Chains A and B, each alone.
Chain A
Amino acid sequence: MSDSPSVPLTTADGVPLKVSLRRAVRRSKVKAFLLVSPLLLFLVVAFVMPIFDMLWRSVDNPEVSTHLSRTVASLEGWDGESLPDEAVFAALVEDLREGQEVRNLGLLSSRLNYEKSGMRSTISRTARRLGRIEPPYREALIEINDTWGELDTWKLIRREASPYTPSYYLAAVDRQLTPDGELAKVPAHLEIHVSLFWRTFWMSAVITGLTLLLGYPVAFLLANLPLRHSNLLMILVLLPFWTSLLVRTTTWIAILQSQGVLNDMMVAIGVIADEARWQMIHNKTGTIIAMTHILLPFMILPLYSVMKTIPPSYMRAARSLGGRPFLSFRRVYFPLTIPGIAAGAILVFILSIGYYITPALVGGQSGRFITNYIAYHMQTSLNWGLAAAIASILLFVVVAFYLVFNRLVGVDKVKLG
């Protein structure tokens, strides 16, 4: 730029052009941001804050430290080798008395019962008899319930006095802390969550594989037909995409159940006997069939949009250079579709591992996903901390795949219909 004029270019009002341009850019930056900000603000309140609240809940542990504050304070100097002294027991009695009065011992006893079954009744029985006991409290409490005479009980209270806990995450991966604070597996007969995570992942992988297997030929056909025909066929792909998820699940129940359309047909044409109807629903098969159907459009659409960009002349060139049809397909066409495969597969996989409705309705016992356990802990067992921890783990997995997807495809390139 050596020959640029020494006098800087100016705009009509005498401001140097560079400055003026910079100003204009800044102004349009601000303008663009202002346009986006109402939506950002809205999403922060309606979506982002709830998510962070859930993450926080998965480690939040206020019960012991607030409801047993005196006990916790007096446990401070305890050596953990022998039973705590009278002062600690007296503090416990005082804490429980207060809790009984304002009636908020329920959350505390639920919290401790998650860690040690039986604590719920230990606390409620003790609280009920508080009116009748006299010092020395140590003997009195142990007489009411010998759980108070166990070292492990006190170690548990001391450990859970911390305002944050890893317990829910540990429980979500079938681990626990021993009374001495060491990490251990839960007993084999209580292991459930890890196997459910794996089942969710591998069934989603199977579903992804199946949608690819079925979606690839269809996308290929759509991309290579004249537009007039492909538009018509595209409607067949979009119709299920636009139809209510519950409707699609219902139809599979109607088709697959043992008194359903498919079994009736098979019996009518004599393929199977009336007593030997196929069990195709309320198990893995049901979940896989229904979800493959539901997610198939999510595979076809990205594949189609990639295949559409591959000029047909490539294949013709490969053929004319002497490649056999299969070879030219494998060496030339297929590699070009890999971005579409990646996009479709990640999309289907992400959607699949988060599905709740379909596995809940057609999954039965063996076709259940980890999402069904989130709902179970939310609504039935009411262990909200554990629900939040399982949901957070699932969220981390989804976000990881989402970032990969974003890197590979770019979310803004997602096309809808």
Chain B
Amino acid sequence: MKQREVISRKGRLGIAIAVAGVTTLGLTATAQAQQTLNIVSWGGAYSMSQQRAYHEPWMEMSGDEIVNIDRSGNALAGLRAQSQAGNVTWDLVDMLPADAMIACAEGLIEPLDHDELLADAPDGTPPSEDFVDGALGECFVASIVYSNIVAFNTEMFPEDNQPSTIADVFDLENFPGKRTLMRKPINNLEWALVADGVAPEDVYDVLETEEGIQRAFAKLDTIKDEVIWWEEGAQPPQLLADQEVAFASAYNGRIFNAMVTEDQPFEIIWDAQVFELDGWVVPTGRLDKVRDYLRFATDTQRLADQAQYISYGPARESSSAMVSTHAETGIEMTEHMPTYGPNFATAIQKDDEFWADYNDELTQRFDAWLAQ
């Protein structure tokens, strides 16, 4: 109640004159004790985009301090260990929906009431209708859509014979050269099937059968000798730039970065991109602390702002319309988004439930296959 009084008095004094929603929020936070938020994310260019689009405006507005922790790669293990130790130090965690499902089922993170918790779109559309399909999980709220794609170095193929489909990646005859792929079954099995003639929408139905898995591995067998397996997201653009490989599977944002900020002659094959969401979860017991920040960081404007810094699509319909140009180079961002129409035509949505069930077994099988 005390807080309300503060706000109304300040309101009456006419100090705040900006857009009502945001201002109230800002003042609520100012009225609270200033705090430090430990936010876990992926590091690199991605954390930088969050820093610019969410953290800096929030810190300025609320006086909070935000500490970035680059641990999303091991976030699930970290959450488990912290909760087992009864010593949770993280306030907000950026993670993949598949991990969020597991963490949610283990009670490590808070269930979220999206419509109550998150901000409506500027036109009043409630979050449950404004976010794209699959963006709101029981304990999860997505902020971006990113994509796993294969890119190539245009200088390594003659101008009249540039690859354009995922099948070309598996075509050693017409497109010779080394490839680098992620050392995990995810994405590679999907691509192998599509290259072998399976329609993108049928991929997971086929993968659920033993014949389907065998078919995918058989297709991967055809290029196995030419593949260098990467494990860190920074490796593929590096290998592609050094021309150690002709093709590289990667996150689309990393390739985009190399293309625009380092002027690398890369091209993305959007065919059969495997897209996926990424977003926030709240460790159990931390909801009250991060409530205001979470509302702020997932509103329409913030998600649209983030797209100025990295080529990942916003998870809200209302933000997509506001995507503009790259902050440093002024490039029009729309056509670099995974969700852009022509890019999206043959896209595969990663099936989190399938991978939650089969990741352990298929990873073991994949490792055994690699060791053969």
Residues of chain A having any CB pair with chain B under 8 Å: 102-107, 109-110, 113-114, 117-121, 124, 189-192, 195-196, 258-259, 365-366, 378-383
A224 to chain B, nearest CB (A): 46
> How far apart sit A234 and B124, CA to CA, in the bound complex (Å)?
78
> Across the two chains, which residue of chain A brings its CB closest to B244?
A258
B357 interfacial contact with A, CB 8 Å: yes
Contacts of B365 in A (CB 8 A): 189-190
25 contacts between A and B (CB under 8 A): A102-B107, A103-B104, A103-B106, A104-B106, A106-B102, A106-B103, A106-B105, A106-B108, A107-B106, A110-B102, A117-B358, A118-B357, A120-B356, A124-B101, A189-B369, A190-B368, A192-B371, A196-B371, A259-B242, A365-B229, A365-B370, A380-B74, A381-B363, A382-B77, A382-B80
In the bound complex, do residue A191 and residue B368 qualify as a contact, i.e. CB atoms below 8 Å apart?
Answer: yes
Residue among B76, B104, B368 facing the most chain A CB atoms (10 A cut-off): B368
Q: Indicate whether A121 sits within 8 Å of B360 (C-beta atoms), given known contacts A102-B107, A104-B106.
A: no
CB distance from B41 to the nearest CB of A (A): 18
* Alpha-carbon separation in the docked complex, A258 to B367 (Å): 25
CB atoms of B361 and A190 under 8 A apart: yes
Interface assignment of B353: CB less than 8 Å from any CB of chain A: yes
- Per-position binary interface string of chain B over residues 100-132, scored 1 when its CB falls under 8 Å from any chain A CB and 0 otherwise: 011111111001000000000000000000000
Residues of A within 8 A of B367 (CB): 192
* Bound CA span A114–B360, Å: 7
Residues of A within 8 A of B357 (CB): 113, 117-121
Beta-carbon nearest neighbor of A381 in chain B: B360
Please give me the residue from chain B that is nearest to A109 by CB atom.
Answer: B105
Chain A neighbourhood of B183, CB < 8 A: 365
Interface size on B, residues (CB 8 A): 32
User: What 10 pairs between A and B have smallest CB-CB spacing?
Assistant: A106-B106, A106-B105, A103-B107, A117-B361, A192-B368, A121-B357, A118-B357, A121-B353, A120-B357, A192-B367
Tell whether, in the assembled complex, residue B104 and residue A383 are in contact, meaning their CB atoms are under 8 Å apart: no
Tell me, rounded to whole Å, the shortest Cβ–Cβ distance linking B309 to chain A.
29
Contacts of B244 in A (CB 8 A): 258
Q: How far is the CA of A121 from the CA of B80 in the complex (A)?
A: 20
A106 vs B244: C-alpha distance when bound (angstroms): 42
Q: Which of B319-372 contact A (CB under 8 A)?
A: 353, 356-361, 363-365, 367-371
The answer to whether B356 touches A121 (Cβ under 8 A) is yes
Residues of A within 8 A of B106 (CB): 103-107, 110
Complexed CA–CA distance, A106 and B107 (Å): 8
What is B's interface to A at a CB cutoff of 8 Å?
74, 76-77, 80, 101-108, 111, 183, 229, 242, 244, 353, 356-361, 363-365, 367-371
A107 to B76, CA, bound (A): 13
Closest to A124 in B: B105
Residues of chain A within 8 A (CB-CB) of B77 are 378-380, 382
B364: which of A104, A190, A258 is its contact (CB, 8 Å)? A190
B104 touches A106 (CB 8 A): yes
Contact between B361 and A195, CB atoms less than 8 A apart: no
The distance from the CB of B279 to the nearest CB of chain A, in whole angstroms, is: 19
Q: How far is the CA of A22 from the CA of B350 in the complex (A)?
A: 78
**C-alpha gap A107/B103 in the complex (Å):** 9
Known pairs A103-B107, A365-B183. 7 more at Cβ < 8 A? A103-B104, A103-B106, A110-B102, A117-B360, A118-B358, A379-B74, A382-B76
Complex contacts, B361 vs chain A, CB 8 Å: 117, 190
Query: Which residues of chain A have C-beta atoms less than 8 A from B369's C-beta?
Result: 189
Q: How far is the CB of B156 from chain A (nearest CB, A)?
A: 13
Residues of B within 8 A of A366 (CB): 371
Nearest neighbor of B138 in chain A, beta-carbon distance: A128
A192 touches B102 (CB 8 A): no
B105 to A105, Cβ gap below 8 A?
yes
A288 and B316 alpha carbons, distance in the complex (Å): 52
Report the separation of the CA atoms of residues A191 and B166 in the bound assembly, to the nearest whole angstrom: 30
Tell me, rounded to whole Å, the shortest Cβ–Cβ distance linking A188 to chain B: 8
Q: Return A100 CB to nearest CB of chain B, in Å.
A: 9
In whole angstroms, how far apart are the Cα atoms of A118 and B106 in the complex? 17
Across the interface, which residues of B come within 8 angstroms of A191, CB to CB?
Answer: 368
Residue ID in chain B nearest A189 by CB atoms: B365
Q: A380 vs B363: C-alpha distance in the bound complex, in angstroms?
A: 11
Q: How close is A60's CB to chain B, nearest CB, in angstroms?
A: 13
A contact residues around B353 at 8 Å (CB): 121
Q: How far is the CA of A121 from the CA of B353 in the complex (A)?
A: 7
